[in-house]
Structure 1
């Protein structure tokens, strides 16, 4: 069977180059320097692109997860994806795929992320070949998360360029130099958070709030910028205008994976050419529903259905959510 034959019609292809085995501990209250007794840990296949793929699969959307997996941890991730029914075609590597640990106490989650394996140039070349075989049948490409050691900082830029040549719309959700380089390659959409936009703001010399920073990021090469404003929703800047989409209420829970749920909604909206106000309402509703879910890569779909018609979407003119405090030297926040 060829690689392209496993891509269903209308498939959204997600790339997770630094996948992880997500381990979650639950405690009544997280006390620094204290001892905590926990129950059996929860394990899930993770990494931002994997989370996007799982949400899309739960929504009944055709999706294929690809990327890099290695060692016993990588094998465990492959088994978990298969058990969840998420279609996957990962490239094997020699290094051990990382783990991430989240400690959730009902008010939020504290995360500990391992750096990931060392990837050789030969393994990167092998993934590029797999990617080239999968890309022609994809309708939307999602590139998410951090890069493992050994990959060049322009790895996402290379994949964005390949996608542009194939005519496949691309969503980039990354940080640091991979985000900067990726923007210059011209992705269809980027989804930074407010902190990442603040760092871009200092480098471009733009002034103002999230909409102004998003416009500055768009000027660097992205066609659309959809920025997360945390519990205040999403801010979008497109060629058709700008919008601020707000959830109907603040949802408390585990925010890990909320941005990935938003990316899942953005991906299917791009594929289906959904009008921006409707698309953003869907993304905010799914993101809020993911916060209510106890683990990353899942969303309470019934809650999303309840939220969706109550999301407020307004033009951003004169409505600029403030950026977080930052300095010129502030780095972009490292993504998972």
Structure 2
């Protein structure tokens, strides 16, 4: 079983517009609303891969109840800790080939609500093959919270796939407790290290930083340019084919789902990188966030090139 952790979930609202006009009314007829937050996108893709998965994290209020109802309708198991605040909404405006996001920060979490989640997590960790941690921390949760979660997973020797950025990632990298895999993008890596990264060679050099010692996998996503990855002492360049993009929202989360599935399945390095990247591309080809058409899986899988460099 794979456990997904989403500490700051949301209802994701997508507004597709031919053009976006400021300071006036924009009308549309095709609004999409889905149970979101990065970890729930991971969850849906894992469900489509027929992996046993359980979604966990924090939920509250009428928005939280709506998320639970959607997960129930999709036959997705979940075990969330209840919070007193109302779970947030996040809006993505898709216009003229661009994506403008409006993200609510979410409710302020109380200390006892954090502890309630950790108590539930302690019951889930021993049953998990892999755990994924995705997204930002809500207000009230300590910056080093993911360190505590990873420590508990390390105690049971359970691999963790971590997808976060900023101070939460910095706290993890500075701690003695390590995830199995992290997946920052090029911009996030540049911000983390305070340097400009222009090409795969500069990214490879950056990944030699002692900050990444002890992490089996560091995968740097480059969008349409594929990825650069470090697995222990080996570096990989992932080249992906050009595709027609319908909706890029959630593609990174689909990639995380692929990595988690590959770890659970005991795949080798190249298969892991291909599995993650092909699912990211499949998500980008769909209008619905966290959805993949597996009928196209093998065709794209065979076009991905993974080489050492």
TM-score range, shorter chain: over 0.9
**TM-score, length-scaled by structure 2:** 0.93
Across the aligned residues of Structure 1 and Structure 2, the Cα RMSD in angstroms comes to 2.0
**TM-score, length-scaled by structure 1:** 0.86
User: 2:235 aligned with 1:242, yes or no?
Assistant: yes
Structure 1 equivalent of residue 272 of structure 2: 279
Q: Distance in 2 between matches of 1:219 and 1:101?
A: 33
1:168-207 counterparts in 2 under 5 A? Answer: 168-183=158-173, 184=175, 185-202=177-194
Shift of 1:105: 3.2
Q: Distance in 1 between matches of 2:7 and 2:132?
A: 11
Q: Distance in 2 between matches of 1:209 and 1:97?
A: 40
Structure 2 equivalent of residue 132 of structure 1: 122
Q: Distance in 1 between matches of 2:234 and 2:223?
A: 21
Shift of 1:106: 6.4
Whether the 8 Å contact between 1:108 and 1:254 is mirrored in structure 2 is: no
Structure 1 equivalent of residue 86 of structure 2: 96
Q: Distance in 2 between matches of 1:249 and 1:122?
A: 48
User: 2:233 aligned with 1:233, yes or no?
Assistant: no
Shift of 1:158: 0.5
Structure 1 equivalent of residue 97 of structure 2: 107
User: 2:144 aligned with 1:151, yes or no?
Assistant: no
Structure 1 equivalent of residue 131 of structure 2: 141
Whether the 8 Å contact between 1:257 and 1:297 is mirrored in structure 2 is: yes
Alignment match of 1:305 (pick from 286, 298, 303):
298
Alignment match of 1:81 (pick from 39, 59, 71):
71
Deviates more, 1:128-137 or 1:79-88: 79-88
Query: Which runs of 5 or more structure 1 residues have no equivalent in the other structure?
Result: 1-10, 318-336
Whether the 8 Å contact between 1:108 and 1:252 is mirrored in structure 2 is: no
Q: Distance in 2 between matches of 1:211 and 1:110?
A: 30
Shift of 1:46: 0.4
Structure 2 equivalent of residue 322 of structure 1: none
Alignment match of 1:294 (pick from 278, 287, 293):
287
Structure 2 equivalent of residue 255 of structure 1: 248
Shift of 1:107: 2.1
Structure 2 equivalent of residue 209 of structure 1: 202
Alignment match of 1:46 (pick from 7, 32, 36):
36
Q: Distance in 2 between matches of 1:265 and 1:218?
A: 25
Cα pair distance change 1:217/1:76, threshold 3 Å: farther
Secondary structure at 2:238 match in 1: strand
Secondary structure at 2:283 match in 1: helix
- Give the number of aligned pairs: 305
Q: Distance in 2 between matches of 1:157 and 1:234?
A: 26
Whether the 8 Å contact between 2:215 and 2:232 is mirrored in structure 1 is: no
Shift of 1:40: 4.9
Whether the 8 Å contact between 1:107 and 1:254 is mirrored in structure 2 is: no
Deviates more, 1:234-243 or 1:12-21: 234-243
Shift of 1:217: 6.6
Shift of 1:99: 0.4
Deviates more, 1:182-191 or 1:156-165: 182-191
Deviations 1:269-305 (A, max 9, x none): 1112211111111111111111111122112322333
Shift of 1:35: 2.3
Secondary structure at 1:30 match in 2: coil
Q: Distance in 2 between matches of 1:233 and 1:310?
A: 12
